Chain A
């Protein structure tokens, strides 16, 4: 499969946006140890912004950054949101309420608990009636979301906005679940090369070969392993490179996703979102 990258965004521990992460990869700039994402949900109208959780805001913020960079209109893009944990705080709050004798679950909390809450909030905020999907594939949620987005892009002939996000659970679920840091990454994919930032050629191998790409820096490797969304880091690093890159991501079981990245305008400064 060949798809073209039209927009890109990322936020996570130590970096507010893609430019900060890109500078770290390409120029060795240090990450900011004090920075933790504080999602605003900027695209959401006032009522929805009050109702939406931190997880939803992280997902729609990173999606909006990638959309802005692409210069495309939200109503033209299909959506794929992908996450292993979903809305962690909402799930915790519901399970806590259901453990009390009253079992009172607020209507807003209940509708926020669905895995597709970010997709729902996004379509309300953007007015887009394009299809939206919300998927989960455990640790391989990012790679699986990338395939979902690429196949939709090619089969339906629509550009697709892919947003991967994960936030940590609060205790007591925290110790039983993956993910210690919030992480979000979003890509705008298109089947048309015009105006693209990079060309991605995606193939699938089976039998656990080749090995999945790891980060050379041990701290970044720890970050990569933290959540399903942060497993996008090797691909993000490839996008920061001037040279063509090959990245291997773990896919279902012993399947591997091999992604060849060729920068079309990779040696140009990236437009700030």
Chain B
């Protein structure tokens, strides 16, 4: 988190020219360095794949394991759930296995579908790694997956199935998403420029992020999930509703659940993928509900679009904003689309932040808005 904060402060993007394996694509990506050299812990070697390696890199940073260890003693292993989002899990392993079929067309003997590619693999890996025995599941709703994990975990706690949950998501680079989004012609050849008049598509990234969510605040300054809202577009599989109707409904539901007015939201972390369609629809939804004053930014210029991990990536950034009193700019945005009404920030702002709304929208018209912050007295 310290590196992320420093990059946010310095306006330093993590995007680079695509150098992922032999994918010869003219685009920029957010690739995590060193995954290739860090296999997962030996006791879980069946789970070794890029996605679970990235998960482990996330678990061992920022004292997360120690926080879970303490919670395990506080609640017992059966009372802590694992709720994670991923869109493609370890499909890269299957892609590679298909490149190494034998003369009869069979996949290599070492290939293990269930521990690498199956969507549940990452939750199974994380619960075993952290020695947790509560309910475990993966939510896979494309780019809203890890934001939905917060809603699902919140309901598990509310209904008494657990006292705490490890919530988050992991998505890693693979040919399926790099080539798939390219085929949809929504991948930019330059680093993505969310909300810019010249925006030309997404930059794909990879990330792992985790949050320990508990039923009651541990400290006075604990950050709370104040609200969440979910909706469906009912419009198109890969294009958002042009007026952002589903996005607006998700934000309204999050506000309703939190009991907050739009004026009490200090800033909005946009889904802001930098496709023509997403940013236009999101502008209509945001400006329709919040007007043109609430500061808005997309942080995808820093991280790229981390797909199933976007929700947790941006929830973690929201926590940094709350803790540091920082509202990030929309990195790489030079000229805001003149048709936009929402207030897109072009410079970082330092000011107290009490409540942040974060949007995540996915294929199939799957929308989630989270409100994170400090309870209003």
Q: Would you list which residues of chain A between 118 and 166 have a CB under 8 Å from chain B?
A: 119-121, 123-124, 126-138, 141, 144, 147-148, 150-152, 154-156
Contact count band on B? 35 or more
| Chain B positions 169-202 with a Cβ under 8 Å from a chain A Cβ | 175-176, 179-181, 183-184
CB neighbours of B161 from chain A (8 A): 147, 151, 204
Known: A110-B176, A116-B364, A152-B155. A131 touches B87 (CB 8 A): no
Max chain B Cβ within 10 angstroms of own Cβ: one of A51, A111, A147: A111
Confirm or deny: A234 has a beta carbon within 8 angstroms of a beta carbon on chain B: no
**Residue in B95, B155, B181 whose beta carbon sits within 8 Å of that of A155 in the complex:** B155
| A91 & B91 in contact (Cβ 8 Å cutoff) | yes
Q: How far apart are the CA atoms of A153 and B183 in the complex, in Å?
A: 38
Residue B235, interface by CB 8 Å: yes
Are B119 and A115 in touch, CB under 8 angstroms? yes
A173 adjacent to chain B (CB < 8 Å): yes
Q: B139 to A129, Cβ gap below 8 A?
A: no
Please report whether the interface of chain B is mostly helix, strand, loop or mixed according to DSSP. mixed
Known: A84-B120, A176-B113. A136 touches B138 (CB 8 A): yes
Q: Are B105 and A172 in contact (CB under 8 A)?
A: yes
Known: A132-B232, A173-B107. A254 touches B175 (CB 8 A): no
Decide: A130 and B231 in contact? CB cutoff 8 A.
yes
Interface positions, chain B 128-153, Cβ under 8 Å from A, are 133-142, 148, 152
Contact B140 A123 (CB under 8 A): no
Known: A99-B95, A110-B183, A114-B364. A137 touches B137 (CB 8 A): yes
Cβ of B231 and Cβ of A131 under 8 Å apart? yes
User: Once bound together, how far apart are the Cα atoms of A133 and B148, in whole Å?
Assistant: 8
In the complex, which residue of chain B has the Cβ closest to the Cβ of A79?
B232
Partner of A131, one of B94, B230, B362: B230
Q: Are B231 and A135 in contact (CB under 8 A)?
A: no
CA distance A135 to B249 in the complex (A): 22
Q: Is B215 an interface residue (CB 8 A)?
A: no
Is B12 interfacial (CB 8 A cutoff)?
A: no
Q: What residues on B are CB-neighbors of A1 within 8 Å?
A: 159
**B236 interface contact, C-beta 8 A:** yes
A197 to B177, CA, bound (A): 43
Q: Which one of B136, B152, B179 contacts A133 once the chains associate, using CB atoms below 8 Å?
A: B152
Say yes or no: is A175 at the interface (Cβ < 8 Å to chain B).
yes
Neighbour of A137 across the interface among B123, B235, B249, CB < 8 A: B123
**Known contacts A111-B363, A124-B237, A129-B246, A135 near B135 by CB under 8 Å:** no
B365 close to A120 (CB less than 8 A): yes
A110 touches B184 (CB 8 A): yes
Residues of B within 8 A of A (CB): 78, 87, 91, 94-95, 97-99, 101, 105-107, 111-114, 118-120, 123-124, 127, 133-142, 148, 152, 154-156, 158-159, 161, 175-176, 179-181, 183-184, 230-238, 245-246, 249, 362-366
B78, B159, B183, B234: residue with the most chain A Cβ atoms closer than 10 Å = B234
Judge whether A117 is part of the interface by a CB distance below 8 angstroms: yes
Chain A residues whose CB sits within 8 angstroms of the CB of B87 once the complex forms: 114-115
With A103-B179, A123-B233, A128-B234: A95-B95 Cβ-Cβ less than 8 Å: yes
Partner of B362, one of A110, A116, A252: A116
> Least Cβ distance of A149 to chain B in Å?
10
Rounded to whole angstroms, the CA-CA distance of A252 and B180 in the bound complex is 33
Chain A residues lying within 8 Å of B232, measured Cβ to Cβ, are: 79, 119-120, 123, 128-132
CA distance A1 to B97 in the complex (A): 43
- Bound-state Cα–Cα, A175 to B109, Å: 11
Let me know if A116 and B141 touch, CB within 8 A.
Answer: yes
Known: A99-B101, A132-B141. A176 touches B111 (CB 8 A): yes
Q: Would you list the 9 A-B pairs with minimal beta carbon distance, nearest first?
A: A120-B364, A110-B180, A115-B140, A131-B230, A136-B119, A123-B232, A151-B155, A99-B98, A138-B120
